[in-house]
Amino acid sequence: MESADVEADLVNVLFTEAQIQDKLRELAKEIENDYAGKDILIVGILRGAVMVMADLARALNRHVEMDWMAVSSYGSGTKSSGVVRILKDLDTDITNRHVVVVDEIIDTGLTLSWLISNLASRNPASLEICTLLRKPEASQMDVPVKYVGWEIPNEFVVGYGLDYQERYRNLRDIGTLAPHVYS
């Protein structure tokens, strides 16, 4: 879906599809350099990271294994319940593996902090985080992120995997959602 298809729902486009692809190639190069001569497992966080994970994997000029996790820290509404649940766990044993967790955005950091702690308890050889977007102003937890595409303001963004009520995930760009859509 193109931004023009939903332009009335967006305040602005923050990053175009071309900018996103360029940034993912940059991140892939960093990862390749850091893990030269090592096998890596990239772990995507469902559902939002699907686009980032797929395009990052394609940008890597090497073999890479992929696995997925789904976690939730929400109850029935939009407020966090404070309890993180694993909805889909890894199929791969990560003991002594080099793991890069891939997410589309880091907001408060609460869920990701819990997830990293959980994965670290499984004794990987290394464990790093790659995210396309990070909102420093929204952070409630210090999460060490090695690979960051862009830092953005604390605004409601959609597109390229990011959603509002399961809509806009397939938008090729990333844009700020207009308040009239969610208020």
- Of all residues in the chain, the percent with pLDDT exceeding 70 is 95
Average pLDDT over every residue of 22-37: 98
Would you name the residues annotated as active-site residues? 107
Domain 18-155 class? alpha beta
55-88 confidence digits (pLDDT tens): 999 999 999 999 999 998 765 444 455 678 899 9
- Give the tens place of pLDDT for each residue, 3-27: 999 999 999 999 999 999 999 999 9
3-state SS track over the chain: CCHHHHHHHEEEEEECHHHHHHHHHHHHHHHHHHCCCCCEEEEEEECCCHHHHHHHHHHCCCCCEEEEEEEEEECCCCCEEEEEEEEECCCCCCCCCEEEEEEEEECCCHHHHHHHHHHHCCCCCEEEEEEEEECHHHCCCCCCCCEEEEECCCCCEEECCECECCECCCCCCEEEECHHHHC
Domain residue ranges in the chain: 18-155
pLDDT > 90 fraction of the chain, expressed in percent and rounded: 86
